[in-house]
Chain A
Amino acid sequence: MNDKKQFWILLGLLLASLTLLWYATAHLGHVSIP
């Protein structure tokens, strides 16, 4: 695989990881008071 293709794949994975981190920080474990 050439470097350019690898770069775009890794960039996509980084964005997905950042989205996961945002979701986890914002939503996991929160108590919603009725």
Chain B
Amino acid sequence: MKLARVNTVLLIAILLINGYVILLPLLPNLLYSRDKHSPKATAITKQTTTHSNNPPIAGDAEQLLIPSMVFDEKINEGRDISVLRQGLWRLPYSSTPDKGSNTVIVGHRFTYTNPQGTLYHLDKVRKGDPIAILWHGKKYQYSVTEIKEVKPNQVEVEAPTADSQLTIYTCTPLWNPKDRLVVVAKLEHIYER
């Protein structure tokens, strides 16, 4: 009788662990469905596409805005990969928006620990979508020109470029992240505050 109770506890533990592993990666999709028609989505779209530089939505930090992902996150700076635990990371050996060339920003697709899904919805971005970076008081407005998947060793996506561009990449596919999903956007306008 006592062993039967232990068995019940074991069964509940198994169900909870597997439920957590299976359901947590689906959570960002539920949040996206909730947010895509929200006032937050409207505010991000407006902030990204207006032909002026409105004050940032959240604070004065450097930010990346992607309306198609309902995305508005701080761009973190740092020397090593541990910065990814804070969210977005601008690769320190890449350019910055004010210096032209290739600004490379990366983030986790999904992790069970924080930050759970920084670039989870990067696959929802399409060619022609607007993206903006708020950088040192200016707004850099980009338009997506290329979406591709590459192998992790294809470092040419990080190479300097003649034109000002933004490269964002994360892991793909979601469940077996062996490749990199790369979104390239060309600079269209710069707005002073």
Interface residues of A (CB under 8 A from B): 3-4, 6-7, 10-11, 13-14, 17-18, 20-21, 24-25, 28-34
Contact = CB atoms under 8 A, between A and B. Distances in A.
B17 A10 contact: no
A24 B153 CA distance: 23
A29 B152 contact: no
Given A3-B3, A18-B17, A28-B177, 12 more contacts: A3-B7, A7-B6, A14-B17, A20-B17, A20-B18, A21-B20, A25-B112, A30-B108, A31-B84, A31-B109, A31-B169, A34-B155
A7 B177 contact: no
Nearest to A15: B14
Interface string B57-86: 000000000000000000000000100100
Interface residues of B, number: 36
Contacts of A21: 17, 20-21
B111 interface: yes
Contacts of B111: 25, 28-30
> Interface residues of A: mostly helix, strand, loop or mixed?
helix
A32 B111 CA distance: 13
Contacts, number: 74
Nearest to B120: A29
B158 A34 contact: yes
Contacts of B81: 31, 33
23 contacts: A3-B7, A4-B3, A6-B7, A10-B14, A13-B10, A13-B14, A14-B10, A14-B13, A14-B14, A20-B17, A25-B112, A28-B25, A28-B110, A28-B175, A29-B112, A30-B171, A30-B177, A31-B84, A31-B106, A31-B107, A31-B169, A33-B81, A34-B155
Given A14-B14, A30-B171, A33-B81, A7 B7 contact: yes
B132 to A, nearest CB: 22
B91 A33 contact: yes
